[in-house]
Amino acid sequence: MTYEAKSQRYEAKNWFRRCGTSGLMLPAISLGCWHNFGAPGTDSAHHGDEAGFHENCRRMLFTAFDLGITHFDLANNYGPPAGSAEERAGRILKDDFAAYRDELIIFTKAGYRMWDGPYGEWGSRKYLLASLDASLKRLKLDYVDIFYSHRPDGDTPLEETMGALDHAVKSGKAIYAGISSYSGARTADALLTCERARFAKPIIHQPSYSMLNRWIEPDLLSVTQQFAMGVIAFCPLSQGMLTNKYLGGVPADSRAATAGSFLRAEQITPGLVATVTKLNDIAKLRGQSLAQMALAWVLRTPAVTSALIGASRPEQIIENVKAAENLAFTKEELAAIDAALK
């Protein structure tokens, strides 16, 4: 089947948001390829055969793009196994999206362990640039749109890590640079380092951020705003905890019930369920699902450019995109959310 994108994919109003003061516009919702694009059977929907697994991945990317999601998130270690998500995405990009490459923002990251020995993780120039070359081969691309330092490295000088990102941009292997999970102070140091050395500055930060994880307030957000930097929030649904999936327990097909998942069944405590139930009641009054409200809450501030979702099937993407239809919150709604979270 030859994929042909829907002509209406850019019709939604106020869907694209500027990434800081850069020229880059990103969709309000972006799609991550972390958990459900690796080897057959490793996704939360448990597609055991290669053909069925791959077709589900294709349908998710088709659905996302048809809805105006132009931004696909990857990293060198995504799978499992590590590297397999890039390989699968690369296959789909080559086979199905070649005609749309210039409409896409594809990004990847390096920072977590990929190979044995002292050069296979963190933030050295050796690791970052070698990893980028390997990622491009897996993705079957000549360049990525954004290349990230996936996590801060306290043992490597910032000049080296930022210099590697600068080299990636100036060599044409990446159009922009980004950083992920850096503290506010570390982010400021990184950007000032780039200014002093005249490096290409990262234009975007990818932190974890959700109603259940508000660590970026106000420390990091004040820095990104000061330096006119975009923000894309990962885990805005707290790996599914901010959905109605766990209101009645832990379903057998959920991420929490999947062996090796970052989300464990014991994290779904009675206290969490009580909190999420209160949030779900607020969402109903807003005419949204809990997931839609959680995404809208993350996007309520212009300081956040995009919310990064994961999905195991196309229908989840369709529902999550509807969050952008209502991003406004009254003072009373925000107060009720804060009270539920306490």
For residue 272 the two structure tokens come to: 């969490």
Query: How do the domains of the chain map onto residue ranges?
Result: 23-240+301-313
Give the tens place of pLDDT for each residue, 147-200.
999 999 999 999 999 999 999 999 999 999 999 999 999 999 999 999 999 999
pLDDT at site 259:
54
CA nearest 149: which of 119, 201, 110?
Answer: 110
Check pLDDT > 80 for residue 303: yes
Q: Which two tokens stand for residue 26?
A: 């990103």
- Report percent pLDDT > 90 for the chain: 87
Cβ-contact 124, 136 below 8 angstroms: no
Six-digit token string for 304? 């956040």
Taking every pair of Cα atoms in the chain, the longest distance, rounded to a whole number of angstroms, is: 54
**pLDDT tens-place string over residues 95-136:** 999 999 999 999 999 999 999 999 999 999 999 999 999 999
The torsion angle over the Cα atoms of residues 315, 87, 31 and 174, rounded to 10 degrees, is -160
Measure the CA–CA gap between 171 and 60, rounded to whole angstroms: 32
Please classify residue 185 by burial: count the beta carbons closer than 10 Å to its beta carbon, then call 0-12 exposed, 13-18 middle and 19+ buried. exposed
Count Cα neighbours of 269 within 13 Å in the Cβ-side half-sphere: 4
pLDDT above 70 (res 260): no
Choose the CATH number for 23-240+301-313 among 3.20.20.100, 3.20.20.140, 3.20.20.70, 3.40.190.10. Answer: 3.20.20.100
pLDDT classification of 16: cutoffs 50, 70, 90: very high
Q: What is the pLDDT of residue 246?
A: 80
DSSP state of 200: P
